[in-house]
Structure 1
């Protein structure tokens, strides 16, 4: 089930409860409870956190702007992505990018020293 969600992470139609319940032969009314019990969080939380993980990678490794990444990942706008990012990570996107670049430099220096 989690693989299916990851595979269709940006296809909202495939992530509708009715569609997932049909796909996995579970009652639509029972699906939320079933997902939460097995995944440890709601479908909505799981999808949001997964999209934020993709955003992290794109922020660090693509040349795209926050606005472009937000649009690409299905957030309403850059400020929506920024608010959710800060809510879940505890720091801003800018701080994350600076920290990520620092972590990459540190990791590279460590790898070269070994």
Structure 2
């Protein structure tokens, strides 16, 4: 399978085609794709879904995809790397947390986003700003970043909440999404609180998670939180104090311990 590699932290492209010219491929970056006009089919990891004007897709490096254009289509692409995410502003914002959550919600990657009318207007305006910046993307990185955060918050609020189901795979997907959403709120990740949310007991949820995930609930939460913290520290944009506040930790020594 072809793999596209992007060296620049962020790139923007706005183009119109009558036929798609790329094979099924994946890449080393994230892509926010806006369908400005047109219609057709989008193949993502073997699944095929229809697209139309106003639709938005978020793809990560792990997804393989291609388009089948049925009617002349204008695409606006915003492509960015992990480097772009973690070298931006020093202060954590809800937008950063929304983006991190969206990146982990692979079910949303596979289905795309269909937005209500009001949000469609806002998203269309945001991608208009994005397109206008493509001639000097490097010089406009802070402006591009604010557009990414705005899009992340709009897309997250349009995601359905995943709830436990009868199948273990769906149960685990719901639990993972819950953890990713509340990773900044330790109180929400206590076994008793999670058990109440998933209509079970504190004694049951831990063994259930270990049986199906292969690691304990505490280990998974610790590793996921530690990974996010390590990225913040590596960026040089966050103080230990600000990280502790963002993740609801007691002090900076706790941050250092989790980053090991």
Q: Normalising by the residue count of structure 1, what TM-score does the alignment of the two structures yield?
A: 0.62
Match of 1:37 in 2: 211
Q: Compare CA radii of gyration and give the structure with the larger one.
A: 2
Larger RCO: Structure 1 or Structure 2 (Cα < 8 Å, ≥ 6 residues apart)? 2
Q: Would you say 1:48 and 2:251 are equivalent positions?
A: no
Alignment of 1:1-114 (within 5 A): 1-61=175-235, 63-86=237-260
Cα separation, 2, equivalents of 1:85 and 1:37: 26
Distance 1:70 1:2 in 2: 22
The 2-side partners of 1:19 and 1:79 are apart by 26
Residues 185 and 247, structure 2, Cα contact 8 Å, conserved in 1: no
Name the Cα RMSD after superposition. Answer: 1.9
| Unpaired stretches in structure 1, ≥5 consecutive residues | 87-114
For the residues of structure 2 that align with 1:70 and 1:16, how far apart are their CA atoms? 18
Q: Distance in 2 between matches of 1:45 and 1:34?
A: 14
Alpha-carbon separation, structure 2, partners of 1:83 and 1:27: 30
**1:56–1:20: structure 2 CA closer, same or farther, 3 Å change rule?**
same
- The C-alpha deviation readout for 1:44-65, integer Å capped at 9, x for no partner, is 2211111111112211235222
Where do 5+ consecutive residues of structure 2 fail to align? 1-174
Q: Deviations over 1:15-66 (max 9, x none)?
A: 2222222222333221111111122222222111111111122112352222
- Contact kept in structure 1, 2:185 and 2:248, CA below 8 Å: no
Q: Count matched residues.
A: 86
Distance 1:82 1:63 in 2: 16
The 4+ residue runs of structure 1 with deviation greater than 3 A are none
